[in-house]
């Protein structure tokens, strides 16, 4: 706390103008981030571009406390993202964290999300909500991450970007923004490709993004569309400890034999209508629909597919989804005190037409063979909610809300044989999630707050897929994890300076974790109680002579409180090794921190130096092996110019400056003990961008 005060005092000494208050929508109604009784971080993308390759969301999140975002150097799998220790159990996709782009869910009703279609080239800001108020977003809301894209501008702008670096990394982007009376639009196109930091890790992605806004007579209509193409991204798989220490750039032999790879195509369309009803009331309607097609070739051994219950080694998944959200809001001053009220309902549906095939034909591996699985999965979620914010006095804010979730999982087996019976079935989960918070502003710059909430997380369809007793059919006996969380903290917002310190604790009942891993099947179980507790501290302030500093630090103790059985090796048809009560939850480092020092601005020269530290990471439930702690340094320099017709910049950046060997991410509880995904060695990136502005009277 003393350092927090010292940083604030140093900021007061600077003769600069106070920043505009940052409006956030993380709690569903726009509020000043400084005055909201919840832990919220805002990352400015458009106004503060970073000297990075621009290929991963994780590049934008290092300075957000409580958030661990890790680039896997494996574009066949999504980035890893966890918030306060939630979301670390996933070996692919993102669990336990809700994701949104311009209000449209990137997390499906079953709780699994993806970052691959996030249009960073059009990003304006990222909002990260941590702690109890996340529960207002429903299932799997251990935290919430939202990307908001830019709107059109006048005069018209055309922006081109190009960046490249080691390992054949290259990215090109183009963006057009325009605005006319009551109408604006943005069109963006981004292509990224890499030869890979490891063998067998070549990948490419193309993303098309479009947004249009129409405003008339108190009504705003927004239309958002995007499409992603990511063909044949090679998957090098993880490495065991010996392989990682010997040569981190190598690839698993199984990856080469089966040519492990994944192709993804996604298309999505969404629209939002906001209409002012008068008298302080407003109606908001959101509707979206899309589809994601995935084909993945796995390294499942041929022998294990002899089991008549095997689903094969090739996944072919067609996943259409859709949803609506209707919300009524009212702001008034009953009794002379401000009161805002929100009531709404969300309906979401996700289908999965899943097919499985052998990954061999005769002696040829890595090809599509005989059909082994065919099932139609369906998830439907119905979520009514309401929320109120009241200011009984100028210095006090009270906020409370509740959400009720009713989620139904249904599976219809379309592949029934003599050795593979009909495994159709369904399960229904219900939960009510209340939250409450209080904020106190003793002065305009200081805000003290506390919050409490109760949330839950269902297993995803992938985690329900197999029973841990070896029998056929989904594991509908799995229960959702239920969490009670509290937090208390203090925020400072002053002259171009911000700081935040938060203490938190989350107690989970029926924690979800891996039970068995054998024959290409990973099963899950409820592991009793678990606890996550910690502290977050972040600060950002100016120094003398155009210097600025920022840092974020997190201490997090995440442990299982009950003992349970798990698998220690492969094959493991039945969990049979005790995990002791008090074992650390895998994938969660006890400490992680980031610090940066920057000089200059958007004109002329600028330089930046940063450091990232991550403590040792347990890689399995037994905590008998850990990815070593590391500290990696980076530096960059660039030059920006502004002219009458436009502006631009060029930069060069060095990452992992001292060529440190470390695991950038881990695959928790990997059955073959291939836990490690090595980070890239010392690497260089260069980039160039230019933005043309049209004359106000015509085209560029």
Q: Determine which of 105-114, 434-443, 510-519 has the lowest per-residue pLDDT on average.
A: 510-519
Least confident of 24-28, 49-53, 367-371: 24-28
Place of tokens 């059909």: 371
pLDDT digits (tens, 9 = 90+) for 322-362: 999 999 999 999 989 999 999 999 999 999 999 999 999 99
Rg of the Cα atoms in the chain: 25
In this model, does residue 686 exceed pLDDT 70?
A: yes
| Chain Cα centroid distance, residue 150 | 19
pLDDT at 22: 61
- For residue range 49-79, list pLDDT tens digits in order: 788 998 899 999 999 999 999 888 999 988 8
Provide the token pair at 570: 């492969």
Q: Where are the beta strands (DSSP E) in 458-529?
A: 481-493, 498-509, 512-518, 521-526
Weakest mean pLDDT among 179-183, 593-597, 601-605, 661-665: 601-605
Average pLDDT over residues 473-488: 94
> CA–CA separation, 366 vs 300, rounded Å?
10
Alpha-carbon distance 661 to 362, whole Å? 40
Count of alpha carbons within 13 angstroms of residue 579, beta-carbon side: 32
| Residue 656 backbone zone (phi > 0: left; psi -120 to 50: alpha; other: beta) | left
Give the Å distances, CA to CA, from 681 to 147, 347, 664.
29, 46, 10
- Split at pLDDT 50, 70, 90, the class of 38 is very high
Q: CA-CA distances (angstroms) from residue 241 to 55, 619, 621, 626, 674?
A: 28, 11, 16, 9, 7
Q: What is the DSSP secondary-structure string of 368-421?
A: --SEEEEEEEEEEEEEEEEEEEEEEETTEEEEEEEEEEEEEEEEEE---BTTB-
Residue 696, pLDDT > 60, answer no
80 is written with which tokens?
A: 């890893």
Q: Which H/E stretch holds residue 339?
A: strand 339-357
Q: What is the pLDDT of residue 28?
A: 64
Mean pLDDT along residues 28-47: 83
10 vs 624 pLDDT, higher one: 624
Pair type for strands 530-542 and 547-560: antiparallel
> In which band, very low, low, confident or very high, does the pLDDT at 1 lie, cut at 50, 70 and 90?
very low
Strand-by-strand arrangement of the 98-101 sheet: 39-44, 123-130, 143-149, 98-101, 104-105
What would the pLDDT profile of 589-639 be if each residue is shown by its tens digit?
999 999 999 999 878 999 999 999 999 999 999 999 999 999 999 999 999
Q: Are the beta carbons of 615 and 589 closer than 8 angstroms?
A: yes
Alpha-carbon gap, residue 122 to 208, rounded angstroms: 10
- The length of the chain, given as a count of residues: 700
What distance in Å separates the CA atoms of residue 413 and residue 407, rounded to the nearest whole number? Answer: 20
- Are residues 513 and 38 in contact, defined by beta-carbon separation less than 8 angstroms? no
Name, in order, each residue with C-beta under 8 angstroms of 371's C-beta and a sequence gap of 6 or more.
312, 355, 356, 357, 415
pLDDT tens string 222-268: 999 999 999 999 999 999 999 999 999 999 999 999 999 999 999 99
Between CA 222 and CA 589 the distance in angstroms is 41
Residue 321 confidence class, pLDDT cut points 50, 70, 90 = very high
Q: Which domains does the chain have, with CATH numbers?
A: 2-693 (2.40.170.20)
Helix (H, G, I), strand (E, B) or coil at 132: helix
**Overall average pLDDT of the 631-652 stretch:** 94
Q: Please, are residues 435 and 136 in contact by the beta-carbon 8 Å criterion?
A: yes
Is the pLDDT score of 298 beyond 60? yes
**What's residue 9's pLDDT?**
32
Please state the pTM of the whole predicted model. 0.93
% residues pLDDT > 70 (the chain): 94
Cβ 204 vs Cβ 231: under 8 Å: yes
CB 304 within 8 A of CB 672: no
Distance CA 458, CA 476 (A): 11
> Each residue of 192-209: pLDDT tens digit?
999 999 999 999 999 999
Structure tokens given for 205: 């992605």
What does the pLDDT look like over 378-403, one tens digit per residue? 999 999 999 999 999 999 999 999 99
Sign for the CA dihedral angle at 62, 209, 647, 644 comes to: negative
Q: Which residues of 383-398 are buried (b: 16+ CB within 10 A; e: fewer)?
A: bebbbbbebeeeeebe
Phi first, then psi: give them for residue 167, nearest 5 degrees.
60, 25
The residues that bridge with 225 in the sheet, in sequence order, are 210, 269
pLDDT band of residue 568 (cuts 50, 70, 90) is confident
Identify the pLDDT of residue 494. Answer: 87
DSSP result, 226-265: EEEEEEEEE----B-HHHHHH-TT---HHHHHTT-EEEEE
Chain centroid to Cα 217, Å, comes to 36
Please determine, for residue 456, whether its predicted confidence score (pLDDT) is greater than 90: yes
């Amino acid at each position: 706390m003393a350092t927090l005060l010292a940083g604030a005092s140093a900021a007061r000494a600077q003769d600069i103008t106070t920043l505009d208050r940052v409006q956030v929508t993380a709690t569903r109604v726009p509020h000043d981030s400084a005055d909201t009784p919840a832990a919220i971080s805002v990352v400015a993308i458009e106004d503060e571009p970073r000297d990075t390759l621009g290929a991963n969301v994780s590049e934008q999140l290092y300075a957000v406390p409580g958030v661990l975002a890790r680039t896997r150097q494996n574009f066949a799998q999504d980035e890893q993202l966890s918030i306060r220790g939630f979301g670390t159990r996933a070996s692919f996709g993102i669990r336990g964290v809700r994701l949104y782009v311009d209000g449209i869910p990137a997390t499906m009703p079953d709780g699994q999300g993806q970052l691959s279609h996030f249009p960073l080239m059009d990003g304006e800001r990222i909002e990260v909500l941590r702690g109890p108020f996340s529960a207002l977003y429903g299932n799997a809301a251990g935290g919430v991450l939202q990307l908001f894209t830019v709107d059109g501008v006048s005069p018209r702008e055309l922006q081109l970007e190009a960046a490249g670096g080691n390992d054949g990394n290259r990215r090109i982007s183009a963006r057009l923004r325009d605005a006319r009376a009551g109408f604006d639009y943005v069109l963006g196109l981004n292509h990224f490709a890499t030869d890979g930091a490891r063998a067998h890790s070549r990948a490419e992605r193309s993303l098309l993004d479009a947004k249009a806004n129409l405003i008339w007579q108190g009504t705003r209509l927004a239309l958002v569309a995007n499409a992603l193409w990511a063909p044949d991204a090679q998957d090098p798989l993880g490495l065991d400890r010996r392989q990682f220490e010997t040569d981190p750039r190598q690839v698993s032999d199984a990856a080469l034999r089966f040519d492990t790879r994944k192709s993804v195509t996604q298309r999505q369309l969404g629209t939002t209508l906001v209409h002012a009803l008068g008298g302080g009331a407003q109606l908001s309607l959101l509707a979206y629909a899309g589809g994601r097609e995935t084909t993945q070739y796995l390294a499942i051994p041929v022998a294990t597919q002899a089991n008549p219950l095997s689903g094969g080694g090739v996944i072919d998944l067609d996943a259409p989804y859709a949803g609506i959200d209707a919300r009524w809001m009212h702001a008034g001053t009953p009794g002379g005190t401000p009161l805002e009220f929100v009531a709404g309902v969300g309906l979401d549906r996700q289908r999965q037409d899943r097919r499985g095939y052998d990954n061999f034909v005769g002696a040829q591996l890595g090809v599509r063979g005989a059909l082994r699985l065919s099932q139609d999965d369906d998830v439907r979620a119905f979520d009514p909610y309401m929320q109120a914010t009241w200011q009984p006095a100028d210095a006090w804010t009270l906020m409370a809300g509740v959400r009720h979730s009713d989620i139904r999982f249904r599976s219809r087996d379309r592949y029934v044989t003599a050795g593979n019976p009909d495994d159709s079935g369904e399960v229904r989960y219900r939960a009510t999630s209340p939250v409450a918070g209080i904020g106190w502003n003793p002065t305009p710059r200081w805000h003290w707050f506390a919050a409490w909430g109760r949330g839950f997380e269902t297993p995803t369809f992938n985690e329900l897929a197999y029973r841990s007793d070896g029998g056929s059919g989904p594991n509908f006996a799995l229960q959702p994890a239920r969490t009670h969380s509290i937090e208390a903290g203090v925020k400072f917002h002053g002259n171009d300076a911000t700081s935040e310190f938060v203490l938190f604790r989350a107690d989970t009942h029926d924690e979800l974790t891996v039970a068995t891993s054998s024959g290409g099947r990973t099963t899950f179980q409820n592991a009793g109680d678990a606890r996550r507790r910690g502290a977050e501290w972040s600060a950002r302030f100016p120094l003398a002579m155009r210097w600025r500093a920022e840092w974020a630090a997190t201490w997090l103790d995440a442990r299982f409180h009950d003992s349970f059985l798990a698998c220690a090796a492969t094959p493991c048809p039945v969990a049979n090794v005790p995990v002791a009560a008090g074992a650390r939850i895998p994938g969660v480092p006890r400490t992680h921190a980031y610090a940066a020092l920057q000089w200059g601005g958007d004109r002329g020269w600028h330089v930046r130096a940063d450091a990232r530290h991550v403590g040792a990471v347990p890689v399995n439930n037994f905590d008998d092996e850990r990815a070593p702690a590391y500290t990696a340094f980076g530096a960059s320099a660039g030059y920006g110019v502004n002219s009458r017709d436009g502006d631009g910049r060029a930069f060069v950046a060095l990452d992992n400056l001292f060529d440190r060997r470390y695991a950038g991410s881990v695959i928790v509880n990997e059955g073959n003990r291939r836990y490690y995904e090595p980070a890239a060695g010392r690497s260089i990136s260069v980039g160039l961008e230019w933005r043309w502005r049209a004359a106000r009277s015509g085209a560029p």
